[in-house]
Structures are given as structure tokens and as C-alpha cells.
Amino acid sequence: MSSKTKYALVLDDMDNWCRMIKMLLEEEGLDVSLAKNLREAEEMLDEFAFDLAVLDVRLVSEEQFNVEGLGLMYEIKERYPNMKTILMTGHPESIKTPVDRLPVDKFILKVPEGSSFQFKDFQQNVRKILRD
């Protein structure tokens, strides 16, 4: 990545995921802001220009059909077309649009079937996305 500091917004309702993604992004040299809910994320987006947004699809784990993160991704693509986006979920069944038709730079399953979260793959994807 270039020597210019890159800024990332991480939106996830689960503290452990926020902390882990923040740590991985900081290891890549990014300055990271965390949002725990949609309102916080929208306020941060209004106040600051981010290079990357890492968004969880479901922001209320108990609500099966909650896809607020997906809605924010569409809003970001409309309002900030140059911002890169990574969409993450542990609940792929909640997304009705085929993943390859979503306007995201990368779609990541938090826990792929029969596997675990791939830390190095995540960081490699971040480097590639911010380089393009």
C-alpha cells in the first residue's frame, strides 16, 4: 500500500469481531474507526472520508431478517462510489441477492462451512482491494 494513511470504518454489532477486524486492519497500516450500529456508522460516514468500509450484514444477531449492513453498503456505493467495501456475514441465508451481483469489492463468510475465519486471506484481500 502507499505511504499515505488509509482509513477504514468497521461496522459490526459483535465486539469480538470489531476488535479482531480492527487489529487485522491496523497490522496493514490502516487507521480504524469502529461502529457498533447503523446510526453510529452513518454519523461517521457523514463526518469523515474513509477509504474502506468493512460491514457486517446482520447488525442485530437475534433478528433473522436484519440486513442493515447490506442496506448501508448500497448507500455507500451511491454516496461514496470510490470507497472500497468488504461485506461480511455469518448468515449468508439472509442475503437474497446472489453474492456475485452485489456491488462489493469482496464478500467474506465469517466462518466458511467446515473451516474458520482466514486471517491472512482477509489481510491479503484488503491489500488487493486498496491497491486497485
Tell me the pTM. Answer: 0.87
- Helix, strand, coil shares of the chain as percentages rounded to 5? 40, 20, 40
27 exposure class (CB count in 10 Å sphere: 0-12, 13-18, 19+): exposed
Q: Is 49 left (phi over 0), alpha (psi -120 to 50) or beta?
A: beta
Domains, the chain, with CATH or none: 7-131 (3.40.50.2300)
Q: In this structure, what DSSP letter does residue 92 have?
A: G
Cell of 130: 486498496
| pLDDT tens track, the chain, 132 positions | 556 899 999 999 999 999 999 999 999 999 999 999 999 999 999 999 999 999 998 887 555 556 788 889 999 999 999 999 999 887 666 666 666 778 889 988 887 667 788 899 999 999 999 997
Q: How far apart are CA 78 and CA 103, in angstroms?
A: 10
